[in-house]
Structure 1
């Protein structure tokens, strides 16, 4: 037993397989995740919970409890702005195509919307093989921003300062909560994702309301995240991400679903039209090629791909920068002389 947490009972309930596992109630789940964040659980229990939730999945009530525990325990960012900041969780990286989340982020900052990207402090390396995902072979947002000369924050106050100075900040997740970084490191030992990889898409690092942008890979999580944001009455844009990152694929716009004030609706339908022309994209997914491409777009020599423009337009509205889609399109056009919208 750990400070009132009956681990044997909890593991026995959540680890009975997809069909027979039980969901924890809010209080149990919150206490459990708080102890986990603080490293108070035995290693055997952490591994058992990790794999059990991978099989069972999380209820919306458990997601609410886990996220609330993290937000109350983390070092939140004090930041004031006339627009709601946009939050981009960025943990996967890309390897098949260029990582264009930093381009989307810089598009929004140019339009006057502050953006926070949070992710891993650095790719994790040791001698253990990666069963499902090797970050060392992927390009991450932090790599692109570093190459672009944009500073990353070392703590939450510094993140606030950078948001004021450059409109954009990258915050390593360890800087928000050191325990969360340690939890994420379990992936390499256990070989699969678990609840914490969903939680990083849901938590708000700010003291005030913000706009969440959540990209998912598996369709069932679209529904789960929608239910979560509705119940929490948070503002969010949910989409099928690109290689797990929360930016629209530059060749084909996914469905863009909005959660706002407890309701959910599709703002832009999935693009099903045949591709008329291949968009100009980086010649390879490497850091240098991606940065050169971003410079060309930001300087107006190449157009911003239409799916990214559509995503930016939605986020301009959700942040409060623009009143509706038409005014957001006009606003984007004023800042980008060329964009393929």
Structure 2
């Protein structure tokens, strides 16, 4: 009996395997991706050229080593190319990301954003609701202020033109990234996408403001914004990871203005810390806006957050001027607006 030897055809390597190898080739052999490699990797992910097992490996390798500014810039460029926004362009003054959710305090930053909008500053907010049952996410909170979330780029544009404010969930302008964020309860960890989404700036606003939870990410966001040629951007360690100044603590704001990086400390507004509320009642958002409820922590948080945004926007030259202007906005707000539902 004779046996015919069949040569086995080698299985061709998947193009994305090289990306995984760069990130995972041991302590000495691995390295970060260049900005171009990061762009290529995210482009392949967003155009479904990556197998699920490869995506999982990529996300966790990135999570263990943590993202560099170059990687984030490459990811953001690829993501921005995937948005179908050109025909719906609208001038946005301030891009505001909201992905963390609040746990210890109510989302007072929503009233900061609405305060700016009421004074003619167009604010586009984007975010996603998460899987943490103990967190309050923006898209679930806006209804308490009588505001409907947009469900398309077109509707967001209409809201921005009519009321200077709109919130749009990530799933409506980059569904693939939204899918990846939804993997968190499966993988058990956040992924680089949680960092990336804060840099997306879908309407290409000249000013962008971001909140992070881990202080180490603050300079990474700042440097990534510079690589992306973002004209004006500010990032702060926000209360709960949202873009919200905690008035009980000193707040370091790291900015980019036309390529120049700068750091600025904003002082605590109270000598002692407040006790956090035992229960979070979202209905208080409307009551505080309408002046039916007084809360010094809430008001200081709202005004203080708006002040940082106003200085970023160039509406004030100093912290004191920004704080004064935000206070004036607050005192003369239309208390009939955002009355809740």
Q: Is residue 101 from structure 1 mapped to residue 98 from structure 2 by the alignment?
A: no
Structure 2 unaligned blocks of 5 or more: 1-11, 334-341
**Residue number in structure 2 paired with 1:148:** 145
TM-score, length-scaled by structure 1 = 0.83
For 2:17 and 2:327, locate their aligned partners in 1 and report how far apart those are by CA, in whole Å: 58
**Residue number in structure 2 paired with 1:85:** 93
Per the alignment, in what secondary structure is the counterpart of residue 69 of structure 1?
helix
**Residue number in structure 2 paired with 1:47:** 56
Deviation at 1:305, TM superposition (A): 3.0
Per the alignment, in what secondary structure is the counterpart of residue 194 of structure 2?
helix
**Residue number in structure 2 paired with 1:289:** 284
- Match runs of 1:242-321 below 5 Å: 242-271=239-268, 274-275=271-272, 278=274, 284-296=279-291, 305-321=299-315
For 2:218 and 2:265, locate their aligned partners in 1 and report how far apart those are by CA, in whole Å: 15
Aligned residues of 2:209 and 2:235 also touching (Cα < 8 A): yes
**Residue number in structure 2 paired with 1:127:** none
For 2:14 and 2:198, locate their aligned partners in 1 and report how far apart those are by CA, in whole Å: 26
For 1:52 and 1:166, locate their aligned partners in 2 and report how far apart those are by CA, in whole Å: 42
**Residue number in structure 2 paired with 1:110:** 118
After superposition, the Cα gap between the structure-2 partners of 1:17 and 1:286, relative to the gap in structure 1 and judged at 3 Å, is farther
CA displacement 1:29-68 (0-9 Å, x = unmatched):
2121012123321110011001000011222221111000
**Residue number in structure 2 paired with 1:337:** 331
Larger radius of gyration: 2
Per the alignment, in what secondary structure is the counterpart of residue 255 of structure 1?
strand
Per the alignment, in what secondary structure is the counterpart of residue 336 of structure 1?
helix
Q: Is residue 215 from structure 1 mapped to residue 224 from structure 2 by the alignment?
A: no
CA displacement 1:226-279 (0-9 Å, x = unmatched):
21122333211111111111111243342222221111223333439732x859
Deviation at 1:7, TM superposition (A): 2.4
For 2:45 and 2:301, locate their aligned partners in 1 and report how far apart those are by CA, in whole Å: 39
Per the alignment, in what secondary structure is the counterpart of residue 179 of structure 2?
helix
- Match runs of 1:110-149 below 5 Å: 110-120=118-128, 122-123=129-130, 134-149=131-146
Deviation at 1:326, TM superposition (A): 5.2
For 2:220 and 2:142, locate their aligned partners in 1 and report how far apart those are by CA, in whole Å: 31
For 1:274 and 1:327, locate their aligned partners in 2 and report how far apart those are by CA, in whole Å: 21
For 1:231 and 1:256, locate their aligned partners in 2 and report how far apart those are by CA, in whole Å: 18
Aligned length: 319
Deviation at 1:282, TM superposition (A): 6.7
Deviation at 1:225, TM superposition (A): 1.2
Higher mean displacement: 229-238 or 218-227 = 229-238
Deviation at 1:327, TM superposition (A): 4.8
For 1:300 and 1:267, locate their aligned partners in 2 and report how far apart those are by CA, in whole Å: 32
Deviation at 1:325, TM superposition (A): 4.5
For 2:55 and 2:81, locate their aligned partners in 1 and report how far apart those are by CA, in whole Å: 21
After superposition, the Cα gap between the structure-2 partners of 1:94 and 1:255, relative to the gap in structure 1 and judged at 3 Å, is same
After superposition, the Cα gap between the structure-2 partners of 1:306 and 1:17, relative to the gap in structure 1 and judged at 3 Å, is farther
Aligned residues of 1:248 and 1:311 also touching (Cα < 8 A): yes
Aligned residues of 1:144 and 1:291 also touching (Cα < 8 A): no
For 1:152 and 1:6, locate their aligned partners in 2 and report how far apart those are by CA, in whole Å: 39
Higher mean displacement: 97-106 or 326-335 = 326-335
For 1:75 and 1:253, locate their aligned partners in 2 and report how far apart those are by CA, in whole Å: 40
Deviation at 1:170, TM superposition (A): 0.6
Per the alignment, in what secondary structure is the counterpart of residue 75 of structure 1?
coil
For 1:144 and 1:203, locate their aligned partners in 2 and report how far apart those are by CA, in whole Å: 22
For 1:98 and 1:330, locate their aligned partners in 2 and report how far apart those are by CA, in whole Å: 24
Higher mean displacement: 91-100 or 305-314 = 305-314
Aligned residues of 1:26 and 1:61 also touching (Cα < 8 A): yes
Per the alignment, in what secondary structure is the counterpart of residue 201 of structure 1?
helix
Higher mean displacement: 256-265 or 173-182 = 256-265
TM-score, length-scaled by structure 2 = 0.83
**Residue number in structure 2 paired with 1:126:** none
